[in-house]
């Protein structure tokens, strides 16, 4: 693989840097100028939806351009965009949704007018997602589904207006064949959202209950019983995003800078041979994973899907995220226990513990590490049961 940028790619890199320097809101302007930021992105030719193909208003970037964008934005604070609509659901609607669904939902997703959440996991159906039991029964006149059951670990479900949801419409045959993909308005009568507070003390996940919730049949994506096929494609997009390789490289760079400020006797922590070795080993693995990411982007450019390489990225990417978080805690020392209290010790220690605690879930959500290893063994290495 040629790792050098072409002249055109270097020009694109400079274009991205110049655009960010000129247009990115900073500090207190992050929210007040959020709308202007997204308008400036859209005016660039679809930069507001960088992963979308040109036919749906995206920039139609090459894999290397995607890579450059991720690297250049990873170290900057961008106005937040929840990934569920733009990154996860949108590709499914583009590929499997009806024309009416595309016209109805994609514009609002792009304009950040609607928050979506993901209704996948259930109590007893997390890693074995195909065992889900939330039931959707088609009415006699065929106009609606009636949904009963529960979903759990629903990120931002308390803020979402819509949910894309996997439901069971049949118990006959293989369990994967009886699953249907529905789009559910969260204001529909019969939906209850209850908060779950995480180890880090924050509320961003929930449990959602459905009690005779009526969903119009036109909110079904694709065919009844084919939801598992659509869900697998969505999970590939999710896992590629969860890997967060560019973000972890940025976090590692900041950690090295912070380690220079921590005194250990008459030296800095970065001079400690043991700690320096851990940093070097982590960076080597991260750099190697970059190439796997580029191969995955190249596959996606040809097929429209990230492919099974997304499991490799998710597995190693989340492990390396956690390793950087652990090294951050090690650098902070006893001051890491100060999270949420008065300022003490190095400035990075306060957020370090919060990131560490919340980061414990990274190897679980989006398909736990054990599931990713099974996927890699069967679909990448071709190992049969």
- Overall size of the chain counted in residues: 385
pTM, two decimals, is 0.84
Strands 191-197 and 203-216: what pairing?
antiparallel
Q: Which residues pair with 62 in a beta bridge?
A: none
Report the pLDDT value the prediction gives residue 102, as an integer from 0 to 100.
Answer: 98
Q: Is 41 left (phi over 0), alpha (psi -120 to 50) or beta?
A: alpha
Helix H or strand E segment including 355: helix 348-359
Task: Return residue ranges of the chain for CATH 2.40.110.10.
Answer: 116-226
In this structure, are residues 134 and 148 in contact, taking their beta carbons and an 8 Å threshold?
yes
Contacts for 89 with CB less than 8 Å, ≥ 6 apart: 105, 109, 116, 164, 234
The 8-class DSSP code of residue 204 comes to: E
Q: From first to last of its 385 residues, what are the pLDDT tens digits of the chain?
A: 455 788 999 999 999 999 999 999 988 888 888 889 999 999 999 999 998 999 999 998 887 888 899 889 988 888 888 889 998 899 999 999 999 999 999 999 999 899 999 999 999 887 778 899 999 999 999 999 999 999 999 999 999 999 999 999 999 988 889 999 999 999 999 999 999 998 877 899 999 999 999 999 999 999 999 999 888 766 665 656 678 888 899 999 999 999 999 988 899 999 999 999 999 999 999 999 988 887 776 666 666 565 667 788 889 999 999 999 999 999 998 888 876 556 677 888 878 888 888 888 888 887 788 888 888 888 788 887 6
Domain boundaries 244-380, corresponding CATH code: 1.20.140.10
Report the pLDDT value the prediction gives residue 239, as an integer from 0 to 100.
Answer: 59
> Can you tell me the distance from the alpha carbon of 89 to that of 49, in angstroms, rounded to the nearest whole number?
13
> Can you tell me the distance from the alpha carbon of 305 to that of 300, in angstroms, rounded to the nearest whole number?
5
Distance in Å from the first CA to the final CA of the chain: 33
In this structure, are residues 99 and 201 in contact, taking their beta carbons and an 8 Å threshold?
no
In this structure, are residues 145 and 136 in contact, taking their beta carbons and an 8 Å threshold?
yes
> Can you tell me the distance from the alpha carbon of 168 to that of 55, in angstroms, rounded to the nearest whole number?
33
Task: Return residue ranges of the chain for CATH 1.20.140.10.
Answer: 244-380
Q: 338: buried, middle or exposed (CB in 10 Å: 19+, 13-18, 0-12)?
A: middle
> Can you tell me the distance from the alpha carbon of 65 to that of 60, in angstroms, rounded to the nearest whole number?
9
Which is nearest to 116 in space by CA: 246, 287, 234, 258?
A: 234
The CB density around residue 26, as the number of other CB atoms within 10 Å, is 9
Q: Which CATH architecture has domain 116-226?
A: Beta Barrel (2.40)
Report the pLDDT value the prediction gives residue 345, as an integer from 0 to 100.
Answer: 76
Report the pLDDT value the prediction gives residue 304, as an integer from 0 to 100.
Answer: 56
Q: 238: buried, middle or exposed (CB in 10 Å: 19+, 13-18, 0-12)?
A: buried
Contacts for 143 with CB less than 8 Å, ≥ 6 apart: 216, 217
> Can you tell me the distance from the alpha carbon of 115 to that of 359, in angstroms, rounded to the nearest whole number?
23
The 8-class DSSP code of residue 61 comes to: -
Q: Which residues of 301-336 are buried (b: 16+ CB within 10 A; e: fewer)?
A: eeeebbbbbbbbbbbbbbebbbbbbebbbbbbeebb
Q: 60: buried, middle or exposed (CB in 10 Å: 19+, 13-18, 0-12)?
A: middle
Coil/strand/helix, residue 152 = strand
In this structure, are residues 279 and 255 in contact, taking their beta carbons and an 8 Å threshold?
yes
């Amino acid at each position: 693989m040629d790792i050098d940028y072409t002249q055109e790619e270097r020009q694109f890199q400079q274009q991205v840097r110049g655009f960010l320097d000129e247009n990115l809101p900073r500090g207190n302007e992050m929210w007040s100028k959020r709308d202007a930021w997204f308008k400036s992105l859209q005016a660039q030719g679809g930069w507001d939806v960088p992963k979308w193909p040109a036919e749906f208003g995206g920039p139609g970037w090459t894999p290397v351009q995607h890579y450059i964008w991720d690297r250049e934005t990873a170290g900057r604070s961008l106005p937040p965009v929840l990934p569920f609509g733009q990154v996860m659901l949108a590709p499914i609607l583009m590929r499997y949704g009806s024309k009416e669904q595309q016209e109805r939902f994609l514009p609002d997703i792009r304009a950040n007018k609607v928050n979506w959440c993901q209704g996948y996991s259930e109590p007893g159906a997390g890693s074995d997602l195909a065992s889900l039991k939330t039931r959707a029964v088609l009415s006699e006149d065929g106009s609606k589904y009636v949904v009963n059951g529960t979903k759990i670990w629903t990120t931002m479900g308390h803020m979402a207006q819509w949910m894309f949801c996997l439901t069971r419409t049949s118990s006959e045959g293989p369990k994967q064949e009886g699953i249907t993909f529905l789009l559910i308005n969260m204001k529909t009568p019969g939906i209850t959202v209850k908060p779950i507070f995480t180890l880090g003390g924050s509320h961003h996940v929930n449990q959602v209950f459905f009690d005779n919730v009526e969903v119009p049949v036109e909110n079904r994506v694709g065919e009844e019983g084919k939801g598992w096929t659509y869900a697998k494609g969505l999970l590939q997009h999710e896992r590629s995003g969860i890997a967060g390789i560019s973000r972890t490289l940025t976090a590692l760079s900041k950690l090295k800078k912070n380690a220079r400020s921590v005194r250990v006797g008459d030296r800095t922590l970065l001079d400690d041979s043991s700690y320096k070795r851990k940093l070097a080993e982590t960076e080597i693995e991260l750099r190697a994973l970059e190439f796997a990411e580029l191969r995955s982007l190249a596959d996606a450019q040809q097929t429209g899907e990230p492919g099974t390489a997304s499991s490799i990225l998710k597995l190693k990417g989340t492990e390396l995220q956690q390793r950087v978080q652990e090294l951050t805690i090690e650098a902070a020392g006893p001051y890491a226990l100060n999270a949420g209290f008065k300022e003490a010790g190095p400035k990075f220690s306060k957020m370090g513990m919060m990131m560490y605690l919340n980061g414990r879930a990274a190897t679980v959500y989006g398909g736990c590490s054990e599931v990713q290893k099974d996927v890699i063994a069967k679909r990448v290495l071709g190992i049969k049961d």
